[in-house]
């Protein structure tokens, strides 16, 4: 009998309800996951999206600055003396340089970029490559390259290589007016001369640009780009005349060599305007390369002081005439020496002589210290001081140049017994060359003192020229007194009576004064001549100052001939007609 088959085991029951629960669970899980991603997406795009986008943009932004072009400095006729030229600094983002892909012939990265840039910059590829490797985002690899080099670099479109436009200062005339114009420092700011004193108006206002770049350093068209343009500075037009400045510098250098002097300074100024046509210092610096000369870059015409000596006697004469204490023909017996009534000492002339019978004009023409004190002692000490200050001694002239000394003029209450008399013939006080010239400018201008100036006006960035306003002059002496002085000063240059006959200029009447005096800062001397021409219709005042000449100490010998040379050239340059000698008044007698 076959055994009976067993009942098969029952399969697990699968209910509809269980399946539905599992599906629901899966759906819930998926929904939760999707919700999380959705919320995250909403957060990223809707809530934090702008911040993230901004962070990403920052990584793609490059900012470069630009310098507003510095204004030019020109002479009165527009001849450029200082100009700014377009140049470029080359900088790199070393991180971006590393992304350079290279080409078939050029390797990628810093080596390839160096290979392309080196011949353009005139650099060694290996050395240049070393400066391109690193993590710096802004490192300069070349400074002040010319526009053509910048164009070649820009055409390569290299990642991480940036060009920054800058302005470089150039002085086209080199040493011409170098000590007046001065120069700028490495920071582009004025360091000496007018470049320094006029910094506020010459300097431009810097600009900037921030723009978006791609992965290879290329500018993204239509991308972020915000720029603030640079604004150029104003340009200064000086009163200098380049031809006259050149002549004065040439004469200063030549006379320094001829006399073995330490230095020669020449000032040329408009007689009635105060316009400075030239200020020449021997051995002027070249602002393009001031080098070792930078320490002496300031003009000696305004920084170096000395006793005016006999050129200062004109102030004593002016005070005597103005106060009615003497006339040009007043007669004086002039002994060999003068003993001061206060017992302060004895005053002598340069050479021994017997008693001379000189007029006031003769005293000036012969440059007699004894005669000047004999006549000048009638002035009170207060009057002596007052006229020195009226003519500008002891005060800066106000010219726009930096570093001007006001000279030395102590209050008369502090004068000792000797100084009370010495000031009458230009000792016991100190002036700079420009102050000395300004005194004669006052006499030439009919007794009205004007402020010397070297800046004629300014041209704004839009091309508008505005002349500098001139303050009204101050009357120091009457026009009549000034006229008498001009005639007296002509006797100084007269061949028969004066010490300055070497200053004569054929065809022109010349009024002037010689001088020899000490420098207060040393034991040296300054020989000088200051003159006005034409004396009958003053146009030009010229002062020549020779420091420590070895050939002669007399201004009539070492300074007067230079005056004639420079003044004659200036008259021709300005087109000044010769004097009408037929109408010239007779000179005052010098003796009696």
Smallest CA-to-CA distance from 66 within 153, 220, 188 is with 188
φ, ψ (nearest 5 deg) of residue 165: -75, 130
Domain with CATH 3.90.1310.10 in the chain: 65-86+170-238
Smallest CA-to-CA distance from 590 within 480, 481, 494, 479 is with 494
What is the distance between the alpha carbons of residues 381 and 387, in angstroms, rounded to a whole number? 10
What pLDDT was estimated at residue 218? 65
Using alpha carbons only, how large is the chain's radius of gyration in Å? 40
Is omega for the bond preceding 165 within 30 degrees of 0, making it cis?
Answer: no
Q: What is the DSSP string of 273-289?
A: T-BEEEEEETT---TTS
What pLDDT was estimated at residue 68? 83
Contact 38, 138 (CB under 8 A): no
Residue 566 token pair: 């420079």
Alpha helices in 333-432 (DSSP H): 360-366, 369-376, 381-390, 419-422
pTM (predicted TM-score): 0.84
CATH placement of domain 65-86+170-238: 3.90.1310.10
SS3 192: strand
What pLDDT was estimated at residue 105? 92
Domain with CATH 3.40.710.10 in the chain: 242-284+302-456+474-574
What pLDDT was estimated at residue 187? 86
Query: Over the stretch 95-151, which tens digit does the pLDDT of each residue have?
Result: 999 999 999 899 999 999 999 999 999 999 999 999 999 999 899 999 989 999 999
What pLDDT was estimated at residue 33? 78
What pLDDT was estimated at residue 61? 80
What pLDDT was estimated at residue 215? 64
Q: What is the DSSP string of 417-474?
A: TTHHHHGGGT-SSBEEHHHHHHHHHHHHTTTEE---BSEEEEE-TTS-EEEPP-PPPE
Catalytic residue among 197, 310, 368, 528: 310
What pLDDT was estimated at residue 520? 65
What class does CATH assign to 242-284+302-456+474-574?
A: alpha beta
Name residues of the chain where pLDDT drops below 70: 1-18, 40-59, 215-218, 292-297, 520-522, 583-584
CA distances from 400 to 74, 275, 395 (A): 15, 12, 14
What pLDDT was estimated at residue 60? 74
Residue 44 token pair: 């990223």
What pLDDT was estimated at residue 62? 76
310 is catalytic: yes
What pLDDT was estimated at residue 17? 64
DSSP bridge pairs for 205: 231
């Amino acid at each position: 009998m076959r055994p009976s088959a067993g009942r098969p085991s029952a399969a697990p029951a699968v209910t509809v309800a269980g399946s539905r629960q599992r599906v629901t669970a899966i759906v819930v899980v998926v929904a939760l996951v999707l919700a999380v991603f959705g919320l995250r997406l909403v957060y990223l795009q809707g809530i934090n999206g702008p911040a993230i986008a901004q962070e990403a943009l920052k990584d793609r932004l490059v900012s470069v600055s630009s310098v507003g072009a510095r204004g030019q400095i020109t002479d009165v006729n527009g001849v450029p003396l200082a100009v700014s030229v377009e140049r470029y600094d080359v900088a790199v983002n070393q991180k971006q340089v590393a992304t350079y892909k290279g080409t078939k012939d050029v390797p990628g990265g810093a080596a390839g970029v160096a290979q392309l840039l080196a011949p353009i910059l005139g650099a060694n590829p290996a050395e240049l490559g070393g400066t391109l490797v690193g993590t710096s985002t802004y490192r300069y690899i070349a400074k002040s390259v010319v526009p053509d080099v910048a164009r070649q670099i820009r055409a390569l479109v290299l990642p991480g290589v940036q060009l920054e436009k800058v302005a470089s200062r150039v002085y086209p005339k080199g040493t011409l007016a170098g000590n007046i114009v001065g120069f700028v420092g490495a920071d582009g700011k004025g360091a000496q001369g007018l470049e320094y004193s006029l910094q506020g108006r010459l300097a431009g206002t810097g600009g900037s640009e921030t723009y978006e770049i791609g992965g290879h350093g290329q500018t993204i068209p239509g991308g972020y780009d915000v720029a603030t343009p640079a604004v150029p500075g104003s340009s200064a037009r000086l009163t200098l005349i380049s031809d006259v400045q050149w002549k004065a510098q040439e004469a200063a250098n030549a006379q320094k060599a001829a006399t073995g002097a330490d230095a020669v300074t020449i000032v040329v100024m408009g007689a009635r305007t105060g316009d400075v046509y030239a200020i020449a210092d021997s051995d002027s610096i070249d602002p393009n390369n001031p080098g070792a000369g930078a320490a002496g870059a300031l003009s000696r015409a305004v920084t170096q002081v000395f006793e005016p000596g006999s050129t200062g006697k004109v102030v004593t004469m002016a005070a005597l005439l103005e106060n009615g204490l003497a006339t040009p023909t007043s007669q004086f017996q002039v002994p060999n020496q003068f003993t001061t009534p206060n017992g302060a000492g004895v005053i002598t002339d340069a050479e021994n002589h017997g008693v001379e019978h000189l007029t006031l004009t003769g005293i000036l023409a012969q440059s007699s210290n004894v005669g000047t004190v004999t006549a000048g002692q009638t002035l009170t000490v207060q009057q002596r001081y007052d006229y020195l200050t009226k003519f500008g001694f002891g005060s800066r002239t106000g010219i726009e140049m930096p570093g001007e000394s006001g000279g030395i003029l102590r209050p008369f209450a502090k004068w000792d017994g000797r100084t009370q008399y010495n000031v009458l013939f230009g000792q016991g006080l100190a002036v700079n060359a420009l102050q000395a010239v300004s005194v004669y400018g006052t006499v030439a201008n009919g007794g009205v003192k004007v402020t010397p100036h070297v800046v004629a006006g300014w041209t704004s960035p839009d091309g508008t020229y505005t002349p500098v306003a001139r303050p009204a002059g101050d009357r120091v002496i009457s026009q009549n007194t000034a006229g008498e002085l001009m005639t007296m000063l002509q006797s100084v240059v007269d061949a028969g009576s004066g010490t300055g006959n070497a200053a004569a200029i054929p065809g022109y009447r010349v009024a002037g004064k010689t001088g020899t005096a000490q420098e207060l800062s040393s034991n040296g001397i300054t020989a000088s001549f200051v003159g006005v021409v034409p004396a009958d219709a003053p146009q030009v005042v010229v002062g020549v100052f020779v420091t420590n000449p070895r050939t002669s100490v007399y201004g009539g010998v070492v300074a007067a001939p230079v005056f004639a040379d420079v003044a004659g050239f200036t008259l021709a340059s300005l087109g000044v007609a010769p004097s009408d000698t037929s109408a010239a008044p007779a000179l005052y007698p010098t003796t009696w």
